[in-house]
Amino acid sequence: METNTIGPPSNHMEFDKAYSSLSHWMWTDTRIPSELKRLIETNKPQTSLELGCGLGRFSKFMANQKIQATGVDYSTVAIEKANKRVANERNKPTYLVGDVTNLEILSEPFDVSFDIGCFHCLNKEAQQNYVKEVYRLLKPGATHLIWALDESPSNMKLTPEYISDIFSNNFQLQKSQRSRRRVVFVASHWYWLIRK
């Protein structure tokens, strides 16, 4: 199966294959988003959780801010590469292989969590499980930041109304903002969700 050139792959094997080659650069962004910097400035977290961390660039940034950072991805190849990239760092994030819809490997309540390009890869049932896990792993009143495509790789429409609705039992959508952050400029949004 061919990898989507705009969005990320759609299954575990495709992600491992993409991270083993250079094809992930079609949908990987190396810039640290200003939204992530604002998450730190606004919340002053001591701990952070990144869902779908890939090569771990954003969790590495968090660790460099002296935040106890944890990144989770279900690609073993990505996590191996992420760990190699920080092997000589003083402030290292913790990288774990895990499924964002079932993170039984984690129990710590985190001060903030974020996801830059993972949520839109999930089907609706997986998204519902993801919401439950983020709720379980965040402290009350904590912020979960998401960047997601407006149309998922599987052609699911993701709108502020959809995000608000799927998170509504456990989170309040505080803010949504249009974005065109990737090299391939596709419609997307940032979402700030507050855990109830």
**pTM given for the model:** 0.86
State residue 25's pLDDT score: 42
CA atoms within 13 A on the CB side of 140: 1
Other CB atoms within 10 Å distance of the CB of residue 55: 23
For residues 195 and 184, give the distance between their C-alpha atoms in angstroms, rounded to a whole number: 32
State residue 8's pLDDT score: 47
State residue 6's pLDDT score: 39
State residue 129's pLDDT score: 97
User: What is residue 121's DSSP assignment?
Assistant: G
Residue 138 CB partners (closer than 8 Å, separation 6+):
49, 109, 110, 112, 113, 144, 195
List the 47-51 sheet strands across, edge first.
94-97, 68-73, 47-51, 110-116, 138-149, 188-195, 171-179
What tokens were used for 175?
Answer: 């803010």
- 137 SS3 class: helix
User: What is residue 191's DSSP assignment?
Assistant: E
For residues 82 and 71, give the distance between their C-alpha atoms in angstroms, rounded to a whole number: 9
SS (H, E, C) 70-90: EEEECCHHHHHHHHHHCCCCC
Could you list the pLDDT tens digit for every one of the 196 residues in the chain?
Answer: 233 333 444 445 555 455 455 544 444 557 899 999 999 999 999 999 999 999 999 999 999 999 999 999 988 998 999 999 999 999 999 999 999 999 999 998 999 999 999 999 899 999 999 999 999 999 999 999 999 999 988 899 999 999 999 999 999 999 999 997 655 568 999 999 999 9
